[in-house]
Chains A and B, each alone.
Chain A
Amino acid sequence: MQNKKLVLGSLIGFIILFIGLAIFYKDSEAKKDEKTVLGKSDLLQREHSIKFGENKKNISVVEFVDPECESCALFHPILRKLYKEYHEDILLVVKYIPNHKNSEFAIKILEASREQNKYEEVLDIIFEKQALWAQHNNEKPELLWEFLSIIPDLDINKLKEDFKNPKIDKLIDMDKKDSQQLDVRGTPTIFVNGKRLVSLSQKDLFDLVESEIYK
Chain B
Amino acid sequence: MFFNSSKRSNFSSLTFIFLSFLTSLIATLGSLFFSEIMNFIPCSLCWYQRIFMYPLVLLFLINLLYPDDKIFKYSFPLVIFGLLISVYHNLLIYKVIPENLSPCVQGVPCSVDYLNWFGFITIPLLSFFAYTIIFILLILFKRKSVDAK
Residues of A whose CB lies within 8 Å of any CB of B are 2-4, 6-8, 10-11, 14-15, 17-18, 21-22, 25-26, 185
* B25 adjacent to A11 (CB under 8 Å): yes
Residues of B whose CB lies within 8 Å of any CB of A are 2-5, 14, 18, 21-22, 25-26, 29, 32-33, 36-39, 61, 64-65
- A18-B33, A21-B33, A22-B33 given as contacts; is B65 within 8 A of A10 (CB)? no
* A3 adjacent to B14 (CB under 8 Å): yes
Chain B CB count within 10 A is highest, among A3, A14, A25, for A3
Taking the closest CB of chain A, its distance from the CB of B59, in whole angstroms, is 13
Q: Provide a sorted-by-A list of 6 A–B residue pairs whose CB atoms are within 8 angstroms.
A: A7-B64, A10-B25, A14-B26, A18-B29, A21-B33, A25-B37
Q: How many angstroms between the C-alpha atoms of A108 and B19 in the bound complex? A: 58
Chain B CB count within 10 A is highest, among A2, A6, A18, A25, for A18
Chain A contact residues: over half helix, strand or loop, or mixed? helix
Chain B contact residues: over half helix, strand or loop, or mixed? helix
| Chain A residue nearest to B37 in the complex (CB) | A22
* A14 adjacent to B29 (CB under 8 Å): yes
| Chain B residue nearest to A22 in the complex (CB) | B37
Complex interface: chain B residues within 8 A of A21 (CB): 33, 37
Complex interface: chain B residues within 8 A of A11 (CB): 25, 61
Q: Quick one: which of A6, A14, A22 contacts B25, CB cutoff 8 A?
A: A14
